[in-house]
Amino acid sequence: MKKLLLALLLFADADPLAAQNPVKWNYTAKKIGDKTYELKFVANVSAPWHIYSQHTPEGGPAPTIIKLAKNPLLLSNGGAFKEDGKLVEKFEDVFGVNIRYFNGNVVFTKKIQLRANVKTSLTGTIAYMACDDSQCLPPMSVPFTVKLD
């Protein structure tokens, strides 16, 4: 009986959304020069899940999109984020196109430049879709704020 009560208490405290979101995001900004910063977004993807590249063809799964909100201090947004991780590229019958996805950790980096040497924050959203070999979760969007000191 004690074991049953303990098991019920453990499940009652479990976060049901955490079990449904196999991706945890971390983001940082590092000053690398005069008014220049490197943004780093790290996706920690739990096995057996994966997320898709930003460079996913039309008709395929939802790509990962990191979108910076407008900031009047942002002079240059440095173009697209660079991707670094264990990339898998293959034809997927379900979508009918070649897909590109990442297992494990994926690092997205980008250099940006500010108009002045001031402290500010960048905000935005990260949209992505997580799948395993048999199912996909609905596309998710998470907000972020990263400080530039």
Q: 38-77: per-residue pLDDT in tens?
A: 999 999 999 999 999 999 999 999 999 999 999 999 998 8
Which residues are registered as beta bridge partners of 141? 127
Contact (CB, 8 A) for 127 and 98: no
Residue of 63 and 19 predicted with greater confidence = 63
User: Is the N-terminal amide bond of 143 cis, ω within 30° of 0?
Assistant: no
Q: Coil, strand or helix: which one is 142?
A: strand
Which one, of 39, 11, 9, 41, lies nearest residue 106 by Cα? 41
Residue of 50 and 8 predicted with greater confidence = 50
Q: Which helix (H) or strand (E) holds 98?
A: strand 97-114
- Percentage of the chain exceeding pLDDT 70: 87
CATH for 22-148, options being 2.60.40, 2.30.230, 2.40.50, 3.40.50: 2.60.40
What sign does the CA torsion over 113, 118, 124, 21 have?
positive
Which one, of 125, 128, 123, lies nearest residue 85 by Cα? 128
DSSP state for residue 70 in the 8-state scheme: P
Residue matched to tokens 């999109």 = 65
Angle of CA points 101, 106, 108, to nearest 5°: 105
Question: 17 — phi, psi (to 5°)?
Answer: -70, -30
pLDDT given at position 19 = 54
